[in-house]
Amino acid sequence: MYLNTNKDKKIGMKNKLLGKLMPKWKKVEFEEIEYEPKSIKEILIEMKNISELMVDLAYSALLFNNKELAEEVKYLEVRMDTLNYDIRLIALLAARTKEDAEELTGILQVAEAAETISNAAADITKLLSVRLTHPILPGLIKKSDETIKKLTIKEGSVAHNKTIKDLRIASETGVRVLTIRRKDRWIYAPKKDELLKAGDILIGIGPEEGLARLNKLFEGKIKVL
């Protein structure tokens, strides 16, 4: 499923001004929210997906003391805010009768709950800045032999223009791709025939060894898994 974040052009200038001063997720926060016609269903699906992904990522970030994952959580939180705004707007526009309004209220309540869950996830990542004497709560992730990692496909990697299936990622490394971020959009639970591109940021979960191998492929250090 593809969904674009604000494709608005006005923000270009603003982003240039904000430029290198702040992380990317923060820049998104400064974008003006513009009404973008999308269906309630599409938005609600994405909100549910994001809230679940955020909880997984937040605990992983904490467990592996991984700042990159924490940053991804913040990024998703901003996306979530936009979606929650959009869904309210569309719901209000859609209600014509009292019955409509009553039914739509249920949808908004679920959307709000998804947003609440994502906020709770974001709060968990704040704990990364707390200095702890030792890693906290290793038991919080059930499969302890699995780890989670953010991987970037570099220019020149053989992975460019190949699908997940072509590369035999699952069978060769045991890694499952949770999500792909391509510029400003996310592909959740990508299909096996999803075409990978240089610059894609993947979040993979799997054995450490497999992730390391996959990273080498993405960095162009090896040509085959």
Q: Which stretch binds other proteins (CB under 8 A): 7-15, 74-82, 118-126, 199-207?
A: 118-126
In terms of Cα–Cα distance, which of 91, 89, 118 is closest to 107? 91
The answer to whether 119 contacts other proteins (rule: CB under 8 A) is: yes
Site string for other proteins, 120-159 (x = CB under 8 A): xx-xx-xx--xxxx--xx-xx-------------------
Q: What is the DSSP string of 133-170?
A: SS---GGGSS-TTEEEEEEEPPTT-TTTT-BTTTTTHH
Looking at this protein, which amino acid is placed at residue 144? S
User: Out of 31, 52, 172, 194, which residue is the one contacting other proteins (CB under 8 A)?
Assistant: 52
Q: Are 78 and 118 in contact (CB under 8 A)?
A: no
Q: Which stretch binds other proteins (CB under 8 A): 27-35, 108-116, 154-162, 202-210?
A: 108-116
Using DSSP bridges, classify how beta strands 176-182 and 185-188 pair: parallel, antiparallel or unpaired: antiparallel
Site string for other proteins, 61-90 (x = CB under 8 A): ------------------------------
The Cα 185–Cα 179 span in angstroms is 10
The answer to whether 116 contacts other proteins (rule: CB under 8 A) is: yes
The answer to whether 187 contacts other proteins (rule: CB under 8 A) is: no
